[in-house]
Chain A
Amino acid sequence: MKELATDTWILAGRHMKHIARVPEKLIGVTIAPVVMVLIFGYLFGSAMSVPGGNYREYIMAGIFTQVMFSAVGTSAAGVADDLKNGLVDRFRSLPMSRYAVLLGRTVSDMAMTALSCLVMAVVGLLIGWKAHHGVVKTAAGFGLLLLLGFTMCWIGALIGLVVRSPEAVNTISSLMVLPFALLSNSFVPLDGLPRWMQIIGEWNPISSVVSACRDLWGNPSTVVSDALPAQHPLAAGCLILCCLLIVVAPMAARAYHRAAAR
């Protein structure tokens, strides 16, 4: 266990060095989210209204989750790159922990999403978003977002290992992620959708995370459904994400062994 932590730390350090060498990588995790906040906040914010508050407060939780999604592409591309240039072979010939290569990747990518959250939160505060319920609940909301980000990193790692081609990885990951990202209550309330889409939207973990964050931060919410996850978004979000992780992480570990074994 201690060895796993050490190896993960060493490999996460490697990814941090990459970022120092290629500062452009930071644009994706800082500038892009800021642009999203401004576009959604001002463009849609001035055209839409939600019951019980302003749209900018409503939209922030949604934007945070969208940015967590971008981790899928980042992790997938990183894993595919390592596979392609033979580094995975090198790592696998070392007496290191089985999970460390993937953990190092996902942990450092999650650290990047945390940086995104920080930047977005600052911009959000500037345009009028606020968390109203004190430090603990605010932190809990961000904790849930990071759990989402971590899950997305693992899904990305799995995609990267299965797809293998760094060129194809981006398209495929956005294609797989887009329906989940949009079919949720991130930007619009689910009430107006056809019933079957509503059900998907309600059980989509993104909706739970968004609702939970809105509740924790005291932002306007639009939950009118009696679906179980909509009534208990925090519990539902944690549970669904943990279940996803428990399924996806071992799948990624298996894919790692199989991908390298060619």
Chain B
Amino acid sequence: MDVAIEAEGLSKRYGDNEVLKGVDLTVPAGSVLGLLGPNGAGKTTTVRILATLLPPDGGRATVAGHDIVKAPLDVRRRIGLAGQYAAVDERLTGRENLVLIGRLYRLGRANAKRRAEELLERFDLTGAADRETKTYSGGMRRRLDLAASLLADPGVLFLDEPTTGLDLTSRMTLWSMVREQVDAGVTVLLTTQYLEEADQLADRVAVIDKGMLIADGTPDELKRKVGGERLEVSLADPATVPEVTGLLERVAVGEPVVGDQGRSVSVPVGSGIDSIADAATALRGKGIEVTDFAMRRPSMDDVFLALTGRSSAGESDEDEGRTAA
């Protein structure tokens, strides 16, 4: 099986609201597809359809080799789903939650217990295993939710905004846990509003907006579409901006942009060390005080802005692919 998820023309409407307008997806086995888009773009609907929770109104799809409409049970046996809100039973302990789901996956009682133990260990929940999950932190719940989705060793994993609302440390923990699954050969379809998340985890990214795919490619390909590297200079004194803009125009291959409330200037530059050296020399020659001088690759934020004309809902300061020059 080379293709783990294949969808053609998936559509869904609620009354007059056309949520999906013909979505095509192909996810090769063992790879990670990041489905990226703002709230209401159709990401969750796509995942729910592929995970057999929701029948599509049009189109067809196979997941792990089985048709989602004709053989939903065969699909369910081979997938794991971790949702936006951590679907755990608050009154049960972490261990009880996993054993419950494991038994419903028909692992059998002994097997379910053994798997629960392994996963508690792997997701660093052994210490909290016998506490009711209502005492868990947000990050612990997500980890338990992810563990529950892995009980039956699924070949395909759907993660619907797995880290929304988590702090950075918990997000990074979860990312490394997802990466472990990918290394073990699991195919992952991941939805996210965080551009950085797609950048970190996904082999390919599909950008969805208003129910349609508007772009598809590796994170690097998408960034290249938006443009090359930019030189960004932050200034101690905003009054020097016009002068700096003039200086940088000489090394630029495009229009300079003033940002950061008039404290920084960025320009697209050609590759190679020359433009950076020229810019630095010129700035030093005029005695301009620079607080930051960096080459900046276009972030997924820029990609999103360029594709949709809107900035994303994710935070901006973590999404920048800064490379110091």
Contact = CB atoms under 8 A, between A and B. Distances in A.
Contacts of B73: 95
Contact of A90 (B77, B96, B106, B148): B148
Interface string B75-108: 0110111011111111110001000110111100
Interface string A240-262: 00000000000000000000111
B53 A10 contact: no
A17 B96 CA distance: 10
Interface residues of B, number: 31
Contact of A89 (B55, B83, B89, B96): B83
A90 B101 contact: yes
Interface string B24-66: 0000000000000000000000001001111100000000000
A193 B151 CA distance: 61
B132 interface: yes
Contacts of B83: 86, 89-90
A47 interface: no
A134 to B, nearest CB: 41
B85 A86 contact: yes
- Ranked nearest first, the 6 interchain pairs of A and B with the lowest CB-CB distance are A86-B87, A90-B87, A93-B81, A95-B76, A95-B77, A261-B54
Contact of A94 (B54, B76, B88): B76
16 contacts: A10-B100, A14-B100, A85-B90, A86-B86, A92-B52, A93-B52, A93-B53, A93-B79, A94-B76, A94-B101, A94-B105, A95-B76, A95-B105, A260-B53, A261-B54, A261-B55
A132 interface: no
A239 interface: no
Contact of B91 (A18, A90, A92): A18
B51 A93 contact: yes
A10 B103 contact: yes
Interface string A75-101: 000000000011101111111100000
Chain A interface residue number, banded: 20 to 34
Contacts of B53: 89, 92-93, 260-261
B79 A85 contact: no
Contact of B92 (A7, A10, A14): A14
A3 interface: yes
From B54, B73, B89, residue with most partner A Cβ within 10 Å: B89
Q: Is the interface of A mostly helix, strand, loop or mixed?
A: helix
Interface of A: 3, 7, 10-11, 14, 17-18, 21-22, 85-87, 89-96, 260-262
B218 to A, nearest CB: 29
A94 B87 contact: no
Nearest to A3: B106
Contacts of A14: 89, 92, 100
Given A17-B92, A93-B81, A95-B105, 9 more contacts: A18-B91, A21-B92, A86-B85, A89-B83, A90-B87, A92-B52, A92-B53, A93-B76, A261-B53
B17 to A, nearest CB: 12
A145 to B, nearest CB: 28
Contacts of A89: 53, 81, 83, 87
Contacts of A93: 51-53, 76, 79-81
B104 A7 contact: yes
Contacts of B84: 86
Contacts of B132: 21
Nearest to A96: B104
Contacts of A261: 48, 53-55
Nearest to B85: A86
A56 B80 CA distance: 57
A216 B80 CA distance: 52
Nearest to B74: A95
Contacts of B86: 86
A85 B87 CA distance: 6
Nearest to B112: A10
